[in-house]
Amino acid sequence: MTGGTAGRPILAAIDNQGFDRVMVVVTRWYGGINLGAGGLARAYGGSAAECLRTAERHELLATVDARLTCDFSLANSVHSLLQSHSASKLAESFDEQGLRLRLRLPASMFDGLAQRLRDLSRGAATLEVIEAPGA
């Protein structure tokens, strides 16, 4: 195998597309024709570049998992707030104290949701970070 014919061209394709946190796998089946070092580099780099150019892109957002606790009387208002703060319900339960939710939301929305909950409940509702799974 000729050194530098795959890794460098594939990395150049990634860098040229401006990607971060991406993995590219290029598999080549030998078809009986020797391409030489330059041909291999063009084949690997060109394949990676074409795939990256046409790939669907998804923005990565930092998220946090949180636990929300509030009184039953606030359930409808809380559910409306969740939607406006892009929060996803992971689990929901009820007990004698009220509503318990486990949420996942963008980290950038956490403080705003916490403030709105404090305002809505006059400080009775709690929102605490359980873990930050990352982006």
pLDDT tens per residue across span 26-85: 888 887 888 888 888 888 899 999 999 998 888 788 899 999 999 988 888 898 889 889
Looking at residue 135, its pLDDT comes to 46
- Helix and strand totals (H; E) in the chain: 4, 4
In which residue ranges of the chain is CATH 3.30.230.30 found? 7-54
Q: What whole-number distance in Å separates Cα of residue 48 and Cα of residue 7?
A: 10
pLDDT tens per residue across span 69-83: 999 888 888 988 898
Q: What whole-number distance in Å separates Cα of residue 78 and Cα of residue 92?
A: 12
Q: What whole-number distance in Å separates Cα of residue 49 and Cα of residue 53?
A: 6
Q: What is the CATH number of domain 7-54?
A: 3.30.230.30
Sequence-distant (6+) residues with CB within 8 A of 130 are: 64, 65, 66, 67, 102
Secondary-structure class of domain 63-134 per CATH? alpha beta
pLDDT tens per residue across span 104-132: 999 999 999 999 999 988 888 889 999 75
